[in-house]
Amino acid sequence: MQKPTFTCFTEATAEDWHKIDKLCDEYERGLADRVLENLEKLKGNALGFPVDRYEHSLQSATRAFRDGADEETVVCALLHDIGDDLAPYNHGELAAAILKPYISPENHWMLAKHAIFQGYYFFEHLGRDRNERDMYRGHPAFERTALFCERWDQAAFDPLYDTLPLEHFEPMVRRIFERPAYGGAKEAA
């Protein structure tokens, strides 16, 4: 396929954009692979925790799966910390942004806010208010996010836990990313 020759969008033709659109569609079909590759980059990154970020992610997903969570929520548990390397101070927002076109507004909000909810379990040890999450009390996804952290996130640092392998979750991840992207999840207010 010949590359378009435009140097600015005002020079592009409909034919150029159809070629680009086709290539973008093909590239998007590889998103699940790229996300899974990035998850594997968390191996060995323990940052002082009892398990590395990869094991923590698998443990979170395993706990959600065994607790009967729906497939979308299990995938959210698997990928909730995928932004740790690139966005340590807003990693939840990065994970939420990646998944936004494919998940519910409630799960999007949960991912975006989980870090402050996780703080309930340790902020006081760092001189912060463990109840910072209370600023969101009353939000429709508050309880969902609190339960996510209680059951699956804060509890997923056990080096002896019988964690399921990534291969168990790969088909779920692929199904989520095969959903038609609809321009992003509607913002959960």
- Encode the chain (189 residues) as per-residue pLDDT tens digits: 688 889 999 999 999 999 888 888 888 889 999 999 999 999 997 888 999 999 999 999 999 999 999 999 999 999 999 998 899 889 999 999 999 999 999 999 999 999 999 999 999 999 999 999 999 999 999 999 999 999 999 999 999 999 999 999 999 999 999 988 755 443 443
Other C-beta atoms within 10 Å of 124: how many?
Answer: 12
Q: What is the largest CA-CA distance in the chain?
A: 60
What's the CA gap between 149 and 78, in Å, rounded? 13
Q: Do residues 49 and 60 lie in contact, with contact meaning Cβ atoms separated by under 8 Å? A: no
Q: Do residues 50 and 158 lie in contact, with contact meaning Cβ atoms separated by under 8 Å? A: yes
Q: DSSP character for 87?
A: -
- Structurally, the chain folds into a number of domains equal to 1
- The whole domain housing 135 covers 13-178
Residue 159 lies in a domain: yes
Residue 162 lies in a domain: yes
Q: Do residues 94 and 82 lie in contact, with contact meaning Cβ atoms separated by under 8 Å? A: yes
Residue 5 lies in a domain: no
Kindly report, residue by residue over 111-136, the tens digit of the pLDDT: 999 999 999 999 999 999 999 999 99
Q: Which two tokens mark 20?
A: 């680009």
Share of the chain above pLDDT 90, in %: 79
Residue 2 lies in a domain: no
- CATH number, domain of 81, equals 1.10.3210.10
Q: Residue 173 is inside which H or E element, if any?
A: helix 166-178
